[in-house]
């Protein structure tokens, strides 16, 4: 039976995933212009920054300043990455109402990315989960390397499903499945998603596919009939993980929204404004949008 959704929730990750990997310095004003452009285009969920170590990710050292400049809008959720209590406390002080913890289905990747094992990452998340509950903050969970790892190669999809379940059991309201290095193909993506949906309610699962090998849209399409209705994407295809060599941007929001609208699936996003936002940030970075739909749009 097809569970094809009628509407999809887009989680825009460009201000965080998109900009964390940039070599050049990007001003707080440029970041806020990107976030405001997305909001104006009707994007309701925006991951605005990460409260991570500035030694590890210098590009996000301005996270508190970015949050201080956010336009308050009750219809929009501004979220931020928080790897540990220190990050959570900073996010709370900055007025963030939704945070995301992140771990992986690969031990080697976790060591490189957050300097701890998968089991240790859960120990770090435990105090965040209870502090968040007390403060009324929602916690999202990420699983990286769901379709392959830059250090370990193939990843057992059962491990992905187990990690996803553990995150939900700890209190995450949603789990985002990251193909960090954009290595998966549609049948693998669908098999992995199906296995996760056996352990976690399908309404709590998000797709976070990087487009390194041009497979992201096909992989999303393979998961839609299985009930996938939350998609992470990045305007102009910005993105990449500094701890996954060769990992390029997330699937572009323009490509995803164009495909969904063409299929009669609603997103609430205005394509003209989205495209303009993708062009503005690309211009600020001195490059063409990494999105075919953006380039072809009138
Ligand atoms: P560590 O070095 O093991 O941490 O890093 P530590 O607790 O030993 O602290 C070392 C220093 O960092 C101390 O400062 C701490 O105060 C400071 P010092 O005493 O040396 O001056 N520190 C912090 N500063 C600011 N904010 C914090 C923080 N925590 C410690 N939150 C840590 C561990 C987790 C902090 C580090 O490994 C880290 O920040 N990693 C983040 C890496 C990252 O951001 N990666 C990219 C995002 S994940 C991703 O892109 C994947 C995703 O998109 C999904 C997908 O595509 O698969 C989500
Ligand atoms: Mg990512």
Q: Which residues of the chain have pLDDT under 70?
A: none
As residues whose CB is below 5 A from the ion ligand 2, the structure lists 17
- Nearest atom, ligand 1, residue 116 CA: 3
Contacts of 167 (CB under 8 A, 6+ apart): 101, 103, 125, 141, 143, 175
Distance 297 CA to ligand 2 centre (A): 26
Domain for residue 132, yes or no? Answer: yes
Domain tally, the chain: 1
Which CATH number goes with the domain that contains 206? 3.20.20.70
Write out the DSSP string of 136-149.
T-EEEEEEE-TT-B
Domain for residue 4, yes or no? Answer: no
- Residue from 53, 80, 106, 251 to probe ligand 1 pocket by mutation (most atoms less than 8 Å from CB): 53
- Domain range holding 251? 9-296
Domain for residue 90, yes or no? Answer: yes
Please compute, for residue 143, the number of CA atoms within 13 A of its CA located in the half-sphere on the CB side: 30
Whole-model pTM over 0.95? yes
pLDDT of residue 243: 80
Q: Mind listing the pLDDT tens digit for each residue in 34-86?
A: 999 999 999 999 999 999 999 999 999 999 999 999 999 999 999 999 999 99
Domain for residue 1, yes or no? Answer: no
Distance 104 CA to ligand 1 centre (A): 15
pLDDT of residue 5: 98
Q: Residue 40: enclosing H or E segment and its boundaries?
A: helix 28-40
Domain for residue 2, yes or no? Answer: no
Task: Show which residues are catalytic.
Answer: 241
**Sign of the CA dihedral with 55 first, then 45, 95, and 203 last:** negative
Residue 114, ligand 1, Cβ within 6 A: yes
Between CA 208 and CA 255 the distance in angstroms is 14
pLDDT of residue 245: 79
Q: Mind listing the pLDDT tens digit for each residue in 255-288?
A: 999 999 999 999 999 999 999 999 999 999 999 9
Domain for residue 27, yes or no? Answer: yes
Contacts of 80 (CB under 8 A, 6+ apart): 16, 47, 48, 49, 50, 51, 63, 67, 91, 94, 96, 98, 99, 100
- Looking at ligand 1, which residue's alpha carbon is closest to its atom 11? 53
pLDDT of residue 239: 85
Domain for residue 204, yes or no? Answer: yes
- Nearest atom, ligand 1, residue 100 CA: 58
Residue 61, ligand 1, Cβ within 6 A: no
- Nearest atom, ligand 1, residue 240 CA: 50
Domain for residue 89, yes or no? Answer: yes
């Amino acid at each position: 039976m097809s569970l094809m959704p009628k509407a999809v929730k887009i989680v825009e990750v460009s201000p965080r995933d998109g900009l964390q990997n940039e070599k050049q310095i990007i001003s707080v004003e440029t970041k806020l212009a990107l976030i405001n452009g997305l909001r104006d285009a009707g994007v309701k969920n925006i991951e605005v920054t990460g409260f991570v170590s500035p030694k590890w990710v210098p590009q996000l050292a301005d996270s508190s300043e970015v949050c201080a400049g956010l336009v308050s809008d009750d219809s929009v959720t501004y979220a931020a990455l928080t790897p540990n209590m220190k990050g959570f406390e900073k996010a709370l002080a900055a007025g963030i109402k939704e945070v995301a913890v992140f771990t992986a289905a690969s031990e080697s990747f976790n060591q490189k990315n957050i300097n701890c094992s998968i089991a240790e990452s859960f120990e770090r998340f435990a105090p965040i989960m209870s502090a968040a509950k007390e403060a009324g903050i929602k916690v999202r969970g990420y699983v990286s390397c769901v379709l392959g790892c830059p250090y370990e190669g193939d990843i057992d999809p059962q491990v992905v499903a187990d990690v996803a379940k553990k995150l939900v059991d700890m209190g995450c309201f949603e789990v985002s499945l990251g193909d960090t290095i954009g290595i998966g193909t549609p049948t693998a993506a669908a098999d992995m998603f199906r296995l996760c949906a056996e352990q976690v309610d399908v309404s709590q699962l998000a797709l976070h596919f990087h487009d390194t090998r041009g497979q992201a849209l096909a992989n999303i399409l393979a998961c839609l009939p299985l009930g996938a209705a939350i998609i992470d994407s990045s305007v102009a295809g910005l993105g990449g993980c500094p701890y996954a060599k060769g990992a390029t941007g997330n699937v572009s929001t323009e490509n995803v929204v164009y495909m969904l609208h063409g299929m009669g699936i609603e997103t609430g996003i205005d394509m003209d404004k989205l495209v303009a936002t993708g062009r503005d940030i690309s211009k600020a970075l001195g490059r063409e949008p990494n999105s075919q739909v953006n380039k072809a749009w009138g």
